């Protein structure tokens, strides 16, 4: 790691201490027994960074999940969370955001090896135009997405068309973001998505939320905590999985812990923005 810059070393030290502090928070407030939804982006895409996990790490996570956890489809999870009388127990749901080539090349074979279902939220404009996602994410083709969608382990969701934040658009533009993605997924894959993921996990404006509720049966944000029975299925929490989690913090997140990481990161971001603004 001799090539790492002082800045990236400082960032990684901060990340490690942040996770350590978040883990301490779990002792004060133990993770609940609800359903934890994990966020992944890419596996083995070779782009580096916190959104790209190594295939080996991903495989080890799936092996552990298959051996120790109840892994659910998004449909089953939403049904359990929505059912007041339902027998909701601890469970895990895997989700992927955006739409890159590794989904078919690396992610699906790994899911099949461990027989684990996952939901893939697609931002359709990148796929349709063949334009890279930020951070050098190579877009999956419609043909490959069709192959992915044909697996019984796979659920396809809507992640808007252009990946625009829905807290700041006027209603007509919000509707284009939701409906254009649905149209393209219908046209190319012959399906109508039931599930939605807000871009960058930023909650929508009231108008956006209403438009989402009218079109889908669930919507996901961030929050790094599990979802108890009777949680709002249009504001589900998800826990982002990063390479820097390692085994230890991955397992804590899968069990619904590490909520403090989300709180601390938000606070740090606020301080950073305030410093930039002053
Ligand atoms: Zn995204």
Q: For the purposes of burial, counting CB atoms within 10 Å of the CB of 274, is it exposed (0-12), middle (13-18) or buried (19 or more)?
A: exposed
165 CA to middle of ligand 1, Å? 10
The whole-model pTM stands at 0.88
First to last CA, the chain: 34
3-state secondary structure of 96: strand
For residue 159, the CA-to-ligand 1 centroid distance in Å is 7
Centre of ligand 1 from the C-alpha of residue 95, in Å = 11
Rounded to the nearest angstrom, the distance between the alpha carbon of 22 and the centre of ligand 1 is 24
| pLDDT < 70 regions, the chain | 1-10, 24, 26-32, 84-88, 273-278
| Ligand 1 centroid to residue 163 C-alpha, Å | 6
Q: What is the pLDDT of residue 258?
A: 77
pLDDT of 113-141, one tens digit each? 999 999 999 999 999 999 999 888 999 99
Which single residue is written with the structure tokens 């012959």?
A: 190
Spatial separation of the C-alpha atoms in residues 116 and 239, rounded to whole Å: 18
Q: What is the DSSP string of 34-86?
A: SEEEEEE-EES-S--STTEE-HHHHHHHHHHHHHHS-B--HHHHHHHHH-TTS
Q: What's the pLDDT tens digit per position in 247-277?
A: 988 999 999 887 777 777 777 777 776 665 5
Separation of CA 40 and ligand 1 centre (Å): 10
131 Cα: distance to centroid of ligand 1 (angstroms): 14
- Name residue, tokens 């305030």: 274
Q: How far is the CA of 158 from the centre of ligand 1 (A)?
A: 10
CB atoms within 10 A of CB 162: 15
- C-alpha–C-alpha distance, residues 278 and 271, integer Å: 11
Q: How far is the CA of 229 from the centre of ligand 1 (A)?
A: 26
State the pLDDT at residue 278.
44
- Alpha carbons within 13 angstroms on the beta-carbon side of residue 31 total 28
Report CA(49)–ligand 1 centroid distance (Å): 15
Distance between Cα 86 and ligand 1 center (Å):
31
For the stretch 195-204, pLDDT in tens is: 999 999 999 9
Rounded to the nearest angstrom, the distance between the alpha carbon of 156 and the centre of ligand 1 is 14
The pLDDT score that the predictor gives to residue 185 is 98
User: Rounded to the nearest 5°, which phi and psi values hold at 108?
Assistant: -60, -45
């Amino acid at each position: 790691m001799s090539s790492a810059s002082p800045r990236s070393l400082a960032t990684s030290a901060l990340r490690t201490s942040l996770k350590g502090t978040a883990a301490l928070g779990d002792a004060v407030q133990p993770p609940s027994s609800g359903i934890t939804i994990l966020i992944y982006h890419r596996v083995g895409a070779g782009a580096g960074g916190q959104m790209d996990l190594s295939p080996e790490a991903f495989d080890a996570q799936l092996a552990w999940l298959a051996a120790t956890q109840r892994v659910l489809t998004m449909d089953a999870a939403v049904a359990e969370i929505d059912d007041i009388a339902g027998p909701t127990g601890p469970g895990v749901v895997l989700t992927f955001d955006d739409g890159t080539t590794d989904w078919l090349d690396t992610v699906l074979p790994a899911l099949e090896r461990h027989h684990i279902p996952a939901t893939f939220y697609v931002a359709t404009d990148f796929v349709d135009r063949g334009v890279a996602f930020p951070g050098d994410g190579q877009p999956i083709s419609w043909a490959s997405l069709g192959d992915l969608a044909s697996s019984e382990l796979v659920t396809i969701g809507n992640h808007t068309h252009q990946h625009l934040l829905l807290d700041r658009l006027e209603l007509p533009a919000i509707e284009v973001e939701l409906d254009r993605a649905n149209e393209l997924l219908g046209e190319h894959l012959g399906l109508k998505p039931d599930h939605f993921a807000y871009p960058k996990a930023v909650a929508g404006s009231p108008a956006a939320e209403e438009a989402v509720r009218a079109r889908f049966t669930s919507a996901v944000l961030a929050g790094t905590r599990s979802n108890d029975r009777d949680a709002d299925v249009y504001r589900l929490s998800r826990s982002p999985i990063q390479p820097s989690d390692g085994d230890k913090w991955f397992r804590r997140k899968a069990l619904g812990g590490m909520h403090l990481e989300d709180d601390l990161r938000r606070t740090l971001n606020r301080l950073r923005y305030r410093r930039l603004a002053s």
